Amino acid sequence: MQYDTLIIGAGMSGLAAGIRLAQYDRRVAILERHSLWGGLNSFYKLGGHRFDTGLHALTNYAERGARNPLTRVLRQLRIPYEDLQLGEQGHSESVFLVDGERLALRFSNGGHLLREEVAQLFPSCVAGYDRLVRELPGYDDLGRDPAPPSARRRLRELLGEPLLVEMLMLPLCYYGAAQERDLEWDQFGVLFRSIFIEGLARPAGGIKPFLDLLLSRYKEVGGELRLRSGVERILLDGDRACGVRLDDGTELVADQILSSAGLAETRRLLDPQAPVADAVGRLSFVETLCVLDRPARELGIEATITFFNDSESFCYARPDDFVDLRSGVFCTPDNYAGYVDEEPLARVTLLADHGRWTALDEPAYRARKERTAEAALGSAARFAPDVRPATIFRDVFTPRTIEHFTGHLGGAVYGSPNKCKDGSIGVRNLHLVGTDQGLVGIVGSLVSGLSMANRYALVPSGSPS
């Protein structure tokens, strides 16, 4: 069977690209190694409980009828806004310990609360903050500047207050930085707008109903999804990609290939011996998930998400240990509006070192997971009420789990630090979609899938030019 386009990976970007192409009658198949779709944003069941893997929040909140990246994406996918049943966050916070005191910068959707908090905690920074918001780079600026300046440096110039810089960087790094210690200014702009200005929401029921919407839309327009169909090799004809070979030896032929496997991973699919160390991301995470016996609010947890850091400076880098207990993310999804008929949960996410986690044998791995979960919950309890007394079930996932289920080398959740903003990796008819195209988060991944499909797989045969 000859396909117009083969898509590697049934994550957000692959599904979005697939919908777009199938909608316009392209013969398209999505090839997924696992038995479940969603990629980084998937779900699983354990001990009778259902957990989401990626989703803490859907960024880029917008009300019905407003135009922003989220509503534009839904329009392109032809998924009605109402079907998401978005529930907004109450508020979230970036919390630092300064001389043993808890200092919280709260934010909610629309950006007003954050500005009020800046004005209250850092009165001398208000003018700089307003200027920052006015000058924020947008989606259109992504990739325009070949060497975008450092976000930290730009922030220090604008705000002058190092602590405020750190408090703004913390949530944005955790929710989207593929590089250590800093962000590029254009990426900072996109993240700032997505998280601090537009804000956070959650589809009712979490990621599964959202994935169901994408998948049913894909099937409705005639797309084919092949599960348990890992791609072992991308096949070349001269300098152009012409098909793939699956793990079971099946060969499929196509005019175009879109790969969401990642930059290093796609290079390996072209050549298993390819040196890729420079392209593998260094940032991975351990997450502890706790099912609670009562709503978070009854435990005194007010914030939807608490980003925490225990000193005045924040270090976003691969730790020289199994995890870094100094900072993290504490999320209680039942503090989103519209959280009904689901179990109360708490999640703690910490930076982790992939190498240490994958070097352990099975018994040591299990023991380390338990120890780390205790330590993670203890660390979070310095910033928010302790959920351990209310926990009735617990699970932990690690860089090893992430690598296994997503195929991202190094368990790198946000992929490679080197992004290919135009999707090109030097092989004709093969383009990257997803994280390593440079957009992150669920909305970013969907934008990536749609825009790469439009640009490389739809327009060329749609217009003779």
Partner 1 sequence: MTNEEIVIAIKDIIATIAPDEDLSGLELAPKLRDQIELDSMDFLDIVMELRKRYGVQVPEEDYMELATLQGCVDYLAPKLGDKQLVTA
Q: Binding residues for partner 1, per CB under 8 A?
A: 24-25, 64-65, 67, 72, 75-76, 78, 80-81, 450, 454, 458-459, 462-465
User: Residue 160 or residue 462: which is nearer to partner 1 going by CB?
Assistant: 462
Residue type, 463: S
CA distance 273 to 294: 52
- As measured in angstroms, the least distance from the Cβ of 144 to partner 1 is 17
CB 38: neighbour CB atoms within 10 A?
27
CA distance 54 to 175: 10
User: Residue 64 or residue 294: which is nearer to partner 1 going by CB?
Assistant: 64
DSSP structural state of residue 133: H
User: Residue 24 or residue 365: which is nearer to partner 1 going by CB?
Assistant: 24
User: Residue 16 or residue 163: which is nearer to partner 1 going by CB?
Assistant: 16
Residue type, 39: G
- As measured in angstroms, the least distance from the Cβ of 21 to partner 1 is 11
HEC profile of 406-445: HCCHHHCCCCCCCCCCCCECCCECEEECCHHHCCCHHHHH
User: Residue 68 or residue 150: which is nearer to partner 1 going by CB?
Assistant: 68
- As measured in angstroms, the least distance from the Cβ of 32 to partner 1 is 26
Contact yes or no for 168/177 (Cβ under 8 A): no
User: Residue 256 or residue 391: which is nearer to partner 1 going by CB?
Assistant: 256
3-state secondary structure of 62: coil
Which residues sit opposite 237 in a β-bridge? 240
CA distance 271 to 336: 45
- As measured in angstroms, the least distance from the Cβ of 464 to partner 1 is 6
DSSP structural state of residue 38: B
Which residues sit opposite 245 in a β-bridge? 233, 251
User: Residue 50 or residue 72: which is nearer to partner 1 going by CB?
Assistant: 72
| Cα separations in angstroms, 15 against 22, 31, 59, 352, 403 | 10, 10, 18, 29, 20
- As measured in angstroms, the least distance from the Cβ of 463 to partner 1 is 5
- As measured in angstroms, the least distance from the Cβ of 454 to partner 1 is 6
Phi and psi angles of residue 436, each rounded to the nearest 5 degrees, phi first? -85, 0
Strands 251-259, 240-246: pairing is antiparallel
- As measured in angstroms, the least distance from the Cβ of 67 to partner 1 is 6
- As measured in angstroms, the least distance from the Cβ of 225 to partner 1 is 22
User: Residue 31 or residue 201: which is nearer to partner 1 going by CB?
Assistant: 201
